[in-house]
Amino acid sequence: MTASEEARPVVTTGRGKVRGIREQPVPAPGEAAVPVAAFRGVPYAASPVGERRFAAPLPHPGRQGVRDAARPGPSAPQAASRLAAVMGPRTPDWDEDGCLNLNVWTPAAALAPEAPPRAVLVWFHGGGWSSGSGGWDWYDGARLAALGDIVVVTANYRLGPLGFLHLPAIGAANLGNQDQAAALRWVHDTVAAFGGDPGRITVGGQSAGACAALSLALDPATGDLVQRVIAQSGPWGLRPQDPADAAENTSAYLRILGLDPVGDPAALGRALRMLPAGHLVAAYGQLAARSARPGEVAPPMYPVLGGPGVPRTWQEAVAEGALGNKELLLGATEDEMTAFLAFAAVDRSRVGPLTGRVFGDGVREIAGLRAAQGTPAHVYRFTRRPVPDPHGLGATHCAELPFLFGTFDAYPEAPMLGTVAPEDHALARAFGSALAAFTATGSPNAPGLAPWPPWSRAASPKTKRF
C-alpha cells in the first residue's frame, strides 16, 4: 500500500467505492496512539426527497467512481435543540437531500487483508426525535474506535415531522424507526468491508437513541442482526405514543400548515411533499412551543405504538422475553431532569422524582426483568458534576457523552461539562473502555478497570458508578 493509499484508504461496498481519511486521535494520558480510518457521510439509503418524502427508505442506488468520505454529510432537517443551553449551540447544517447517511471509524489495522474482524458498535444520537446528527463532532467515533479496537458507526435518521409525522394514509408511519432499521441492515451487509464483524453487532444510543437501540433489538424484523445493546439515558417512563394522541397532534400540525386534516389523503400527501422542508420544520416548532412546559420530556411527534419498529412497548417486549440471550448494558445520569428544568422557574425539589419517573425507574425495571430471566444486565449511574456549575445542573442529561467519545473539545460552550480536569480524562478512559469492552465481549470488565458485576435482584443491586 502506498503512502497515499494509507492516508486516503478506499473501501469497496456493494453500492460503490468510498475514500476515507486516516486520522490519529490524540491519546489522553495512559492511552496508546492508534491510527483510525474514518469514512464520513456515507449514504445508506436514497435521499428522502420529492416522491420519497414521507416514504419508507430505499437502498441507495450507488454511484460510479469513488465517493469522497472525508467529511460528514448533512444532518436531517430539524429545529434547534431544546437543550442548547445545556450542551452548547450548533450551527444548522441540515439538508433533506442526502441526510440519510452514516459514519464509520475503524482501526486502520483492521483494513489489512488478513486482519481479524472487529466487533461493531452502531450508535444512534438522541435529541428528542427532533434534533441531532450522527455526523456532529460531539459523536466523533475515532477515539472510541482506537481505545477499544472496535468499529464505530453513527447514523442519521429523519426527525420531527419528516421522521415521525403519523399519517399512515400517505405512508408516514415511524419513518425515523424505519431509517434506523435500514442503517442497521446496511451495516450488517457492508461492515465487513471496513474490517467489522457482522456477527458481532452491538446497537447503542443515548436518550431517543437508546429507545432506537432497544427497539431494534426487540423488533422481530431486526432483532436477529443484533447481539448486544447499550442504552444510555433512555426515557423509559415515556411510553411509545398512543395512535389516537399521535393522530390528534398530526391534525393540529396540519392546521398550522393551513391544510385540512380530513381532506383527501392523496391531495394532502401532494401538498406536504411540495412544501419546503423549512416550512415543515417551522410549523413543527410552533406545535412544540404550544405543548412545551417545564419538566415535559415528550415531544409532539415520536414513535407510535403499533407502527413499524414499535410493535409493543419496550417494557412489555422485554418482559415477554423478546431480547432472548442478548446482553444488555444500560444506565442513566444522576440528575437527568435538570437539563429540562434548570433554566425554568420551577421547584427544584421536583428534579429527583422526575428523574426517577422518566429515566431511573425504567432502568431498574428493565434490569430486574433481565435478572429474572437469567440474563442479568450491567447497570451504571453517571455522577460526574461540572465545575463550575452555576446553574446547578449536576450530572445532567447528556453529561456522559463527552466521556464516552472523548470529545471534550467539541463542547466549548457546554455548561454540562464545565472545566475539564486531569481526572476527567481518566474517567473518560474508564467509561469508554468499559462500553467498548462490552461491545467486543458482552462484558464491560476489561484489564485495568475496576470490577463491574451484573445487576441482581439482591437487596443491594450492583450499579456501577462513574
Q: Is 96 a catalytic residue?
A: no
Q: Name the grid cell of 337.
A: 431532569
Cis link prior to 388 (omega < 30° from 0)?
Answer: yes
Active-site residue, from 23, 334, 336, 400: 336
The Cβ of residue 3 has, within 10 Å, a number of other Cβ atoms equal to 7
Please check whether residue 434 is in contact with residue 349, taking contact to mean a CB–CB distance below 8 angstroms. Answer: no
Per DSSP, helices labelled H in 197-242 are 208-218
Is 207 catalytic? The answer is yes
Cell numbers found for residue 74: 448533512
Here the cell at position 373 is: 430471566
3-state secondary structure 122-178: EEECCCCCCCCCCCCHHHCCHHHHHHHCCEEEEECCCCHHHHHCCEHHHCECCHHHH
- Side by side, which strands form the sheet with 10-13? 10-13, 16-19, 66-68
- Nearest partner of 76 among 378, 344, 278, judged by Cα: 278
Of 287, 259, 285, 262, nearest in space to 273 by CA: 259
Residues near 42 by beta carbon (within 8 Å), at least 6 away in sequence? 13, 18, 67, 69, 73, 101, 102, 103, 104
CA distance 246 to 302: 8
H helices, E strands: number in the chain: 15, 13
Determine phi and psi for 359, rounding to 5 degrees: -120, -60
Angle, vertex CA 164, rays to CA 161 and CA 167, nearest 5: 85
Residue 397 falls in the annotated catalytic set? yes
DSSP assigned state of 360 = I
CA nearest 208: which of 151, 150, 164? 164
Task: Name residue 299's beta-bridge partners.
Answer: none
As a three-state string, the secondary structure of 53-105 is CCCCCCECCCCCCEEECCCCCCECCCCCCCCHHHHCCCCCCECCCCCCEEEEE
- In the set 60, 166, 397, 425, the catalytic residue is 397
Provide the phi-psi class of 66: left if phi over 0, else alpha when psi is between -120 and 50, else beta: beta
Active-site entry in 81, 130, 133, 207: 207
In a 3-state reduction of DSSP, which class is residue 109? helix
Distance CA 221, CA 317 (A): 14
Catalytic positions are: 207, 336, 397
